[in-house]
């Protein structure tokens, strides 16, 4: 069943379908973490139903390309962009195939809220739609970072959200692709230990990582984290 939610900012609305993986605080926080404006060009890798590009474009005017593998979910992301009249182009394709569509260095900003869990780890849901969203069965961390490194020019920015237990891996793998970590923000739900983090990396950036104070997020959006 579909419902339309008021996102509570800039007059933005959002269609949700209970067949699909719902957006959570992590997507909202990632959109808020992105810096940029109308002169930028951004791409969101694995956009789901489109919460990151809708919020980042709707609040900051950033034009987006949004990439989603699952056809029905990509169509809902497209409808969410149209509902809000935003400059978002939705592509139904694999992140791994973006090299065939775009030249190297085509985007100044890459955003990504990737699957958090490795394939085969933890309890995997029987729903294929949710399994793809949660587990690295169709897009791994390496796939996302390979795409970001290709799509960004020198000085381009990657904004990513991930779980804290994989922070060391994210930093190591990003650095290996010339994506220098520049800003780190650890987020703490009020009912859990620190669980996720936001990271900004700059292609060919100078070394030097700013670590922002850890903060609680529940209450700021009224949304909880996905499992």
Whole-angstrom Cα distance, residue 211 to residue 213?
Answer: 7
User: Domains of the chain: which residue ranges?
Assistant: 26-94+103-216
According to the model, what pLDDT value does residue 20 have? 84
pLDDT surpassing 70 at residue 28: yes
Q: Are 201 and 185 in contact (CB under 8 A)?
A: no
Please give the share of the chain, as a percent, with pLDDT higher than 70: 91
Exposed (0-12), middle (13-18) or buried (19+): which is 96, by Cβ within 10 Å?
middle
C-alpha 135/C-alpha 211 separation (Å) is 28
Q: Over 60: is that where the pLDDT of 47 sits? A: yes
101-105 long-range contacts (CB < 8 A, ≥24 apart) are: 102/43, 102/151, 104/150, 104/151, 104/153, 105/151, 105/152, 105/153, 105/154, 105/156
C-alpha–C-alpha distance, residues 120 and 140, integer Å: 12
Report pLDDT for 104. Answer: 98
DSSP H or E run through 5: strand 2-6
* pLDDT computed for residue 221 by the predictor: 41
CA distance 148 to 153: 10
Average per-residue pLDDT for the chain: 90
Q: How far apart are alpha carbons 160 and 170 in whole angstroms? A: 9
Percent of the chain with pLDDT over 90: 76
At residue 33, the pLDDT reads: 97
Q: What is the pLDDT of residue 53?
A: 98
pTM of the model: 0.92
pLDDT at 165: 94
Distance of CA 66 to the CA centre of its chain: 10
pLDDT tens-place string over residues 59-111 = 999 999 999 999 999 999 999 999 999 999 999 999 999 999 999 999 999 99
- Answer whether 32's CB lies under 8 Å from 21's CB: no
Please, what CATH class does the domain formed by 26-94+103-216 belong to?
alpha beta
């Amino acid at each position: 069943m579909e419902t339309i939610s008021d996102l509570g900012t800039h007059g933005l609305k959002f269609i949700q379908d209970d067949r699909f993986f719902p957006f959570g605080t992590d997507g909202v926080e990632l959109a808020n973490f992105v810096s940029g404006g109308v002169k930028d060009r951004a791409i969101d890798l694995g956009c789901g139903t489109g919460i990151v590009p809708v919020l980042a474009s709707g609040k900051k005017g950033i034009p987006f390309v949004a990439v989603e593998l699952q056809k029905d979910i990509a169509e809902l992301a497209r409808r969410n962009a149209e509902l809000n009249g935003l400059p978002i182009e939705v592509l139904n394709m694999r992140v791994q195939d973006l090299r065939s569509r775009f030249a190297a260095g085509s985007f100044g900003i890459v955003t990504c809220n990737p699957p958090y869990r490795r394939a085969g780890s933890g309890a995997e849901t029987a729903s294929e739609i949710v399994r793809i969203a949660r587990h690295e069965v169709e897009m791994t961390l390496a796939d996302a970072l390979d795409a970001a490194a290709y799509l960004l020019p020198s000085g381009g920015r990657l904004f990513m959200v991930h779980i804290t237990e994989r922070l060391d891996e994210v930093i190591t793998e990003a650095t290996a692709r010339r994506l220098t970590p520049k800003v780190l923000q650890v987020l703490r739900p009020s009912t859990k230990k620190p669980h996720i983090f936001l990271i900004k990396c700059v292609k060919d950036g100078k070394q030097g990582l700013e670590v922002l104070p850890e903060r609680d997020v529940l209450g700021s959006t009224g949304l909880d984290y996905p499992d």
